[in-house]
Structure 1
Amino acid sequence: MSGLPVPGWVPAARRQAQQPPAAPRLPFVVAGQAVGTVAPGVLDEIALMPAFCLPFLLLKKEHGGALAWHLDATASDATTALAALAQALRRAGRCGAWRDEQLAVCNAAGERIGTVERGAVRPLGIATQAVHLVGSAPGGRLWVQQRAFDKPTHPGKWDTLMGGMVSAADTLHTALERETWEEAGLHAGALHGMAHRGHVDFARPSSDGEGVGYMVERIDWFHATMPEGLVPENQDGEVERFDLLETAEVHARLERGEFTPEAAMVLAGFYGW
């Protein structure tokens, strides 16, 4: 712990990170495995689509003693069935921003049963994994990024030096290396003292799919020090700019709510709150 009083923004950030859904959600089951949750009415409209839109049966029936939505596919067809469902959600306007990026779909035991388009994970309440990097300069100042104003989530908000999703093709460490390069133009091996420092968990409503999404995410965060003279430079167009801030200014921006909810929770952990 930092030894300093916990500032008011910290309990507010924790409350924001853990929020129940606006309405009760039904379990979402693929190939007999519960992998997410869905809001009332969303899959009812998808289930009525013609077979050329969704060639896999979508039906409501019991699972573990409770009513659930089932995507009726075999284990070997799970990814194909999820791809068809993601496209159907997109046609119905119930998908998040389409990324052409596959994320892992896992059961409650963490076993992968397939993959799905990133834009579909929030409407289907599928758990995701992300990685963040807190980057210090010698002397203790922090490098932070301002998100591009055309980002689909939290445009223009402040963030850690790097934050990104762990894709289906990634391990945690390959995601760390890839995102550090894409977002900050830095090779992880050039940074000093790179270390895993903790994780934060999110479970909260999401605006994806016209407000029917639910975010379930684990964020693993790392800390490293950038050598003197090394300056981040965005490579993928998703960052507006970088700032190098004194601790007091980081805290002031956190107090004013200028950071994303994810970055706020990571920085709370970094400062020991």
Structure 2
Amino acid sequence: MENLRVFDLNWLRAQRAAAAQPPLRPRVPLWSGASLIGTVEPDLLHQIDLQPLLDGRKQLLKEERDGQPGWHLLGDVTAGLNRVAAALHAADLAGAWRDEQLAVNDQHGVRLGTVERAAVRPLGISTQAVHLVGQTVDGRFWVQQRAFDKPNDPGLWDTLMGGMVSAEDTLATALVRETWEEAGLTLDQLRGMVRGGRVDIRRPCDDGRGAGYVVERIDWYHCTVPEGVTPANQDGEVACFALMDGHALLHKMRDGEFTLEAALIQAALLA
């Protein structure tokens, strides 16, 4: 197998830098009670029309804590954040609406509620994803080309499977569900499943008209896809699957034909 030591390590450093970018503009905390649940650009929430609570209080308050300005979400976290998500969507300040709830955790990783996926980037809420790298017995890689109508990274190449961990999932159940939905495979068809590692992404994104910020933890796994087992997409989010040897994989990664996440994951395996 080719090794990144014979490849372009400047490229690898650039990918790692791309995955650890500061926000384009300053952001302020989004609190619920004493808990930090996200970050926002200071004026973003001024642009939405949010109905007051039943007792007449505003759902969102701009305030300072220890000299730090920020926004305070009042009331139930899930109900409040989903009202904010709907208001962001109405103002064309959210990402693609998914009708999918993601977990909302505090700064210590304690789950406080859930929110529509479309709002997590504008609100700087941390997310979790899972990826699966699949290789044949002879070392080639099964990779997918993302559907051309995907809201993020359309048409780019990706790992065998990559998806979000929804609020209803654990990491283990997301691995099972996404492997079936994206590749039409069950885990008992695969061999040598092992956890490969973790990739952290922090970078600006286009959601919220450029006010979005990605804070994502990706756990990735590696497996062998036995001879005669072929992935087949089930959910319409994959244009096609292909087998690539290490040389082709590295070439396409270098040329920017893979998503940043997939490139970092596969580089970690090959390094």
> What range is the shorter-chain TM-score in?
over 0.9
Q: CA RMSD in A?
A: 1.7
Q: Displacement of 1:112 after TM fit?
A: 0.3
Q: Which residue of 2 aligns with 1:233?
A: 232
Higher mean alpha-carbon deviation, 85-94 vs 54-63, is at 54-63
Structure-to-structure mapping, 1:57-206, within 5 angstroms: 57-73=59-75, 77-206=76-205
5+ residue gaps, structure 1, are: none
Distance 2:58 2:34 in 1: 14
Q: Which amino acid aligns with 1:31?
A: G
Q: Which residue of 2 aligns with 1:25?
A: 27
Q: Displacement of 1:59 after TM fit?
A: 1.1
Change (3 A) 1:186 1:65: same
Distance 1:72 1:133 in 2: 39
Question: Which 4+ residue blocks in structure 1 deviate beyond 4 angstroms?
Answer: none
Change (3 A) 1:252 1:3: closer
CA contact (8 A) 1:31 1:78 kept: no
Q: Displacement of 1:55 after TM fit?
A: 7.8
CA deviation string 1:4-24 (max 9, x = no partner): 245232111111101010111
Distance 2:136 2:67 in 1: 54
Q: Which amino acid aligns with 1:118?
A: R
5+ residue gaps, structure 2, are: none
Distance 1:56 1:102 in 2: 24
Distance 2:261 2:95 in 1: 18
Aligned length: 267
Q: Which amino acid aligns with 1:229?
A: G
Instruction: State TM-score, norm by structure 1.
Output: 0.94
Distance 1:104 1:51 in 2: 24
Instruction: State TM-score, norm by structure 2.
Output: 0.94
Distance 1:268 1:186 in 2: 24
Q: Displacement of 1:51 after TM fit?
A: 3.5
Distance 2:58 2:178 in 1: 35
Q: Displacement of 1:268 after TM fit?
A: 1.3
Q: Which residue of 2 aligns with 1:34?
A: 36
Q: Which amino acid aligns with 2:37?
A: V
CA contact (8 A) 2:50 2:83 kept: no
CA contact (8 A) 2:51 2:59 kept: no
